[in-house]
Amino acid sequence: MTAAVVSPFHAQELEIQQRVGVREQMAGAAAFIRDYMPEQHREFFAELPFFFLGALDASGQPWATMLAADPGFVSTPDARTLYISSGMLPGDPLTGHLHAGDHVGGLGLAPTTRRRNRVNGEIVAAHDGELHIAVTQSFGNCPQYIQHRQHTPVAPGTHAVQVLRSASLTAADRELIARADTFFIASANLAADAGRGRGVDVSHRGGRPGFVRVDDEYTLTAPEFVGNFFFNTMGNLLAHPRAGLLFIDFKRGDMLHLAVEGEIIWDGPQLQAFAGAERLLRFHVREVVRNVGALPFRWTDPQPAMQLARTGNWSEADRTQAAASLTTSWRPFNVVDVVQESSDVRSFYFEPADGLGVAAHVPGQFVSLRVPDWAGDGAASQIRSYTISDAPDGRRYRISVKRQGVVSSWLHAHLEPGAQIELMGPGGDFTFEEGTQRPVVMLSAGIGITPMIAMLNGLLVNGSRTRHKHPIYFVHGAREVAHPFAVHLQTLAAGHNNLAVHVQQKRIDIKVLKELLPFDDYDFYLCGPAGFMQDMYQGLRQLNVAEERIRFEAFGPASVRRSGAANAPAVSTATGPVPVRFVRSGIEATWDGSHGSLLELAEANGVDAPSGCRSGLCGSCAVGLEAGDVAYTRTCGSQPAAGQVLLCSTAPRAGASEIALAL
């Protein structure tokens, strides 16, 4: 009979895993947290000239520190024993506090290769700076957020060490922290009931310079990015808030040790404004020890970790917070880049031209563009809404536009780096349901791929990490093999085991889904032309998929008629042929009941109709009705002026013989 696997996590780590929806998936992590060191870890530790250590002083305060000596000062006589022969530097706050029976956390890290391995344990013998440690936990960490640096030894006697102690941060301390791109944090849970999770931990944190904010001389705030979901640090802080921080001045060789109390910030405007942050940690400083010139190394300038491209810093986050109140105002934005995604789709990148930040958005939302005098003949400006086709990075927006219709063609012809245009937003509620525990199916067709790509980029991060630990099925219908984001999708699928991608050059229908998807309980996200949307919605409902499990966004902007919608007005619309004349465009079309609205009919026939419905600009699709009678298919938030109708929500009324629109 197989013995039950004892969890390597203590109660508070499990509590956080449960809170963020990964506890079930992390149950298998016990296999990766060993009570012995693999051979490759042992070889790695022996090569290091420095080693990071976390431990508690006599008062129970954790401290994080760096030990440094010649390679080989950390060795492993066997797979369950770590031996540290020296390395304590002058002024280290742990001097004299390491004794047999104490728990320690160890971290081996090589900045040049971005490799790191963890080893935690209990001191079984300590004498004259030598430590014999019995290993209780050993596991590897991925290289994310580690800055590449090359170190150079400093000859002995060429640097003087000065130890400065205080109860608050000095101006020099604050300056060091404000420009830091790395720090280390030690935390502990030594409760008797902590089980295999009992002990001390020391962890690495990395970000773009400015990712740690000095709130005042006693307070710091730092983001928590997507990690390994172990939640060792946060779990320890939840159990015992005291922690130790270590900041390093890589140019001067200073070590700045902070004794702090930490708190977890789960939500709020500051968190929402900081790109890439899952949570915030706020630290309240209790004691400061700065060892000036203590390290026998100096380092080169860093090469930033690639994972940091989608993360922010506090300067950007503050501007983003300030911009949150401007989402209903038109603002100037500069075009900073244009990328050809396919034969007829281009991505445009925008940064604020007014010196303010970009308002935070959630993947799936959109912005509206105002194109002034787009025809060049003194006509009124035109407004269009486009999905933001990427996850937030705190600095810019990206939209991806298919060249169809006059306005989109104008964007393709006129927007190039250096151009300027007005944007409003973000807005919209077609977003991913945070915390869902179900597999997800993303269904799109044509340019409806854009919100799905934004959601994927928000969920799948850092090359291999995922914010959604359940299966994601990405199903897309495209006319061309070289469709927008084809290579990007292949890259995501190669790096994330929970993503399955299916793209085909024919219409996606329910039959295709039934062939692709294993039996399960899914959340569905739909985006594409209205006919595709309506068919998929009705097909899913016929398969007894619950109404609340189907979320959609119609591109172009058209409406999907929900079955049994309580607020849908009772209407009688024409199903037979009704001639429709678009008077100013000189185009004639026939309504046959296959389109969701007169707006969709106009777009299908190449009429460039005004619309801004998805931007919250209800009423922007109003046009004059010159002849005929229409019926509203849904309740709108705006009433058109006398003689006008809202294209997005109207169809020829049953019995109408002709419709003429001033368009």
Pairing of strands 578-582, 659-661: parallel
pLDDT of residue 387: 92
Which of 284, 315, 346 is where one domain is finished?
315
Q: At residue 316, does pLDDT exceed 60? A: yes
* Nearest CA among 10, 9, 60 for reference residue 242: 60
Q: At residue 360, does pLDDT exceed 90? A: yes
Pick 327 or 180 by higher pLDDT: 180
44-48, 529-533, 636-640, range with greatest mean pLDDT: 44-48
Q: What percent of the chain is modeled with pLDDT above 90?
A: 71
CA dist., res. 21 & res. 15, Å (int): 10
CA dist., res. 58 & res. 377, Å (int): 80
Classify residue 6: in a domain, yes or no. no
For 61-68, what is the mean pLDDT?
A: 98
Cβ–Cβ < 8 Å for 332, 355: no
pLDDT digits (tens, 9 = 90+) for 213-226: 999 999 999 999 99
pLDDT of residue 637: 52
Q: Are residues 542 and 599 in the same domain?
A: no
* Nearest CA among 596, 472, 614, 580 for reference residue 530: 596
* Nearest CA among 566, 522, 528 for reference residue 543: 522
CA dist., res. 359 & res. 651, Å (int): 36
401-415, 423-437, 442-456, range with greatest mean pLDDT: 442-456
Mean pLDDT of the chain: 90
Classify residue 241: in a domain, yes or no. yes
Classify residue 538: in a domain, yes or no. yes
Pick 619 or 175 by higher pLDDT: 175
Q: Are residues 506 and 652 in the same domain?
A: no
CATH code of the domain containing 104? 2.30.110.10
pLDDT of residue 87: 93
Close Cβ partners of 587 (under 8 Å, ≥ 6 residues apart): 581, 605, 606, 607
The angle that helices 11-19 and 232-239 make with each other, rounded to 10 degrees, is 110
Pick 310 or 336 by higher pLDDT: 336
Q: Is 656 left (phi over 0), alpha (psi -120 to 50) or beta?
A: beta
Q: Are residues 369 and 255 in the same domain?
A: no
The angle that helices 449-459 and 486-495 make with each other, rounded to 10 degrees, is 30
Give 614's pLDDT tier (boundaries 50, 70, 90): very low
Q: Are residues 398 and 270 in the same domain?
A: no
CATH code of the domain containing 648? 3.10.20.30
Q: Are residues 475 and 506 in the same domain?
A: yes
Boundaries of domain holding 635: 578-661
Lowest model confidence (mean pLDDT) among 143-147, 222-226, 236-240: 143-147
Q: Are residues 191 and 286 in the same domain?
A: yes
Classify residue 560: in a domain, yes or no. no
Pick 436 or 347 by higher pLDDT: 347
pLDDT digits (tens, 9 = 90+) for 367-376: 989 887 655 5
pLDDT of residue 643: 87
The C-alpha angle 351, 352, 358, rounded to 5 degrees, equals 85
For 460-485, what is the mean pLDDT?
A: 90
CA dist., res. 1 & res. 613, Å (int): 63
pLDDT digits (tens, 9 = 90+) for 375-393: 555 545 677 889 999 999 9
Query: Rounded to 10 degrees, what is the CA torsion of 552, 553, 556, 560?
Result: 40
Which of 408, 427, 446 is where one domain is finished?
427
Cβ–Cβ < 8 Å for 360, 327: no
CA dist., res. 188 & res. 198, Å (int): 8
At residue 13, the 3 state secondary structure works out as helix
Helix extents (H) in 422-574: 449-459, 486-495, 510-516, 530-542
pLDDT digits (tens, 9 = 90+) for 187-218: 999 999 999 999 999 999 999 999 999 999 99
In the DSSP assignment, the letter for residue 573 is B
Lowest model confidence (mean pLDDT) among 68-82, 237-251, 505-519, 617-631: 617-631
Which of 315, 344, 374 is where one domain is finished?
315
For 114-134, what is the mean pLDDT?
A: 95
Q: Are residues 178 and 287 in the same domain?
A: yes
Classify residue 445: in a domain, yes or no. no
Q: At residue 566, does pLDDT exceed 70? A: no
Classify residue 404: in a domain, yes or no. yes
Q: Are residues 396 and 510 in the same domain?
A: no
In the chain, the number of structural domains is: 4
At residue 489, the 3 state secondary structure works out as helix
Classify residue 448: in a domain, yes or no. no
Pick 308 or 638 by higher pLDDT: 308
Number of Cβ within 10 Å of residue 653's Cβ equals 17
For 96-100, what is the mean pLDDT?
A: 96
Q: Are residues 58 and 205 in the same domain?
A: yes
Give 556's pLDDT tier (boundaries 50, 70, 90): very low
Q: Are residues 18 and 110 in the same domain?
A: yes
Q: Are residues 287 and 333 in the same domain?
A: no
Q: At residue 333, does pLDDT exceed 90? A: yes
Residue with tokens 């609205």, as numbered in its chain: 597
Greatest C-alpha distance within the chain: 100
Q: At residue 429, does pLDDT exceed 90? A: no
Give 503's pLDDT tier (boundaries 50, 70, 90): very high
26-30, 46-50, 641-645, range with greatest mean pLDDT: 46-50
pLDDT of residue 1: 41
Number of Cβ within 10 Å of residue 418's Cβ equals 8
Q: What percent of the chain is modeled with pLDDT above 70?
A: 92
Q: Are residues 240 and 215 in the same domain?
A: yes
Q: At residue 561, does pLDDT exceed 80? A: no
Classify residue 442: in a domain, yes or no. no
